[in-house]
Structure 1
Amino acid sequence: MRPRVVDLRVDELDWEPLGPPGLYSRLLSRDEETGARTALQRMVPADGYTAPDTAHYHHTYEELLGVSGRFSFDGRNWVEAGAYLFHPPRTVHGFASTVPEESTFLSRVGRQLDFNFVPEPAQDDLYLAEGSLPPRAPVALEKDAALDGFAPSRFLGADVEARVLSVDPETGEGSAFVRLPAGWQSMTAALPHYLEIFAISGAIGVDGGAAAPGRAYFFYPAQDRINTLEAAEPTLAYVNFGGPVGL
């Protein structure tokens, strides 16, 4: 099980090299048993990074949120700040990957990541290498589409605006952008499933403490106590949840 993480100051973490030249990571949380993890990753062409030149798939889901820069898996659709991708297990992608500039993205995977290369893909758009389409289907949203469509909602018992990005209709597991208005305060003590929050901008205070601006990360395992969280200013959060949260 992943450990509880509260108010991790993401920008204060060191960038750790991942192996390939020019690829770095800031690990935010990890399940030591399964390998499931969330990490901020950075690709730097000036340091020698080159994108994979062969399409591939993984046997776990892969979920990406663009944070800075720009890159593409197919040479047509660009992952920039705010863009969102969800690849269910066995989704073939990376048909014409390109990273023209330094870029960062938030990466989530459901277990240790494996690479299965497809030298001759059946098509040049997302498709499953094998099996039937899962309930939580592939999603590819460029930034304008991902950041459009916010609607009034409630999150952790208080009013917000939310934009659901992807959700499993059977389990309720999914992801969303949530806009927390200044003064928003959580009123939910615990959830029966995990909750993950990545504050992209703004400032979130914890249990009445002063809110520090900048990117912050939270992970609450199922049934774990959720701190009293408060938005000191308008805050945009990327939220991942293991079951229904009312959005």
Structure 2
Amino acid sequence: SQGGLRPPYGGVLIMGVMRKTEYPLQRIRASEMPWEPLGTHGLRRRLLGLDAATGHVTSIVGIPENWRGGGVAHYHDAVEEVYMLEGSVTLDDVHYWKQGDYFYRPARIVHGHDEKSHIGAMALTRSNGILVLNLVHEPAEPIEYPLPGAHDPRGHVFSLPVADVVAKADPAFPAEWRIKTLSADPESGARTVIAEVPAGWHGTAAALGTEWEAFILSGSIDGAAGDFVPQDYTTGDVDTPLLGATCSEPGCTILIWQFARP
């Protein structure tokens, strides 16, 4: 791996720097990744990217029909970020996350009181550390709530229908693209966005000036690293042009995690 040392559990150490793929613009095709068990309640995942040093992980999580979680409220000391690809999940049989919904749950948010899925679901998930379950047997609220001292500049994005977010031009991206900002940290510059690339686009996607990850939601986009199609995933460094992209004949929709400025 470019002369690096391979740490345990995946991930690659290159010149002392961890990255979630072996090299920038490595194409990870989710359809070719095996499903593996996740936890003890019937979930499974396709692991896309993992930084073994920190536990930072990006996956597709499969939730079976009639799934039910452990039924005990809990919190994590890491962020959970989710985009719903298919199906739906409910917290209480009142509120449902469904296809096209996004949420950003900061660390130390009590949740999971009664999670379930009646029809099954598939979700694109990211966390910035190991999701240890810290159980809360007597939660103070019947719905999600922050513990004292919980703070995240992005705030708690409980549920955001992406279709309702206005797409705008953004100077970090090609002029023809339209960007939907799902969550953003005003302090570090980190953010999660969806990029809408119009059909017939030709040009050059620049480097973002930050590390990033990308996942193709629909359409396709081509460039220096080849053709990226739905459910393809890759990562880039500060100076890596986004997806190495140069054209998209059918158009493309991309979910992009842009990390803190160096």
TM-score bracket for this pair, using the shorter chain length: 0.7 to 0.9
**Which of residues 18, 34, 51 in structure 2 aligns to 1:14?**
34
Q: Deviations over 1:109-130 (max 9, x none)?
A: 1011111111221112332123
Alpha-carbon offset, residue 208 of structure 1: 7.7
Identity of aligned residues (%): 29
Compute the displacement of 1:227 (Å): 4.7
Contact 2:68 2:115 in 1 (8 A): no
AA aligned to 2:28 is L
Q: Are 1:236 and 2:253 matched, yes or no?
A: yes
TM-score with structure 2 setting the length: 0.82
Greater shift in the superposed pair: 178-187 or 120-129? 178-187
Give the match for residue 232 of structure 2: 216
1:186: Cα distance to partner?
5.9
Q: In 1, Cα distance between the equivalents of 2:53 and 2:124?
A: 21
Q: Closer, same or farther in 2 for the Cα pair 1:44/1:180, shift >3 Å?
A: same
Gap change, CA 1:185 and 1:239, over 3 Å in 2:
farther
Identify if the C-alpha distance between structure 1 residues 212 and 109 changes in structure 2 by more than 3 Å, giving closer, same or farther: closer
The AA in structure 2 aligned to 1:9 is R
Please name the residue that 1:119 is paired with. Answer: 137
- How far 1:29 moved relative to its partner? 0.5
Question: Among 115, 136, 158, which residue is 1:140 paired with?
Answer: 158
1:198 offset after TM fit, Å?
0.9
Q: Contact between 2:25 and 2:243, CA under 8 Å: does it hold in 1?
A: no
Q: Is contact 2:197–2:251 with CA below 8 Å preserved after alignment?
A: yes
Q: Distance in 2 between matches of 1:106 and 1:40?
A: 5
- Is 1:28 aligned to 2:45, yes or no? no
2:192 maps to which of 175, 180, 192:
175
**Cα offset for 1:11?**
2.1
Between the two structures, name the one with larger relative contact order (CA 8 Å, sep ≥ 6): 1
Task: Provide the rounded CA distance (Å) in 1 between the counterparts of 2:223 and 2:204.
Answer: 13
Aligned to 1:192: 209
- Which ranges in structure 1 are unaligned for 5 or more consecutive residues? none
Residue of structure 2 in register with 1:153 after alignment: 169
Q: Show the counterpart of 1:81.
A: 99
**Quick check: 1:65–1:84 contact (8 Å CA) kept in 2?**
yes
* CA distances 1:4-63 after superposition (whole Å, capped 9, x unpaired): 3533222222211224252111011010111101000001146xx431201111001110
TM-score (norm 1): 0.87
CA RMSD of aligned residues (A): 2.2
For the residue of structure 2 that corresponds to 1:233, the secondary structure is coil
Q: 2:6 — aligned with what?
A: none
Match of 1:54 among 72, 77, 95: 72
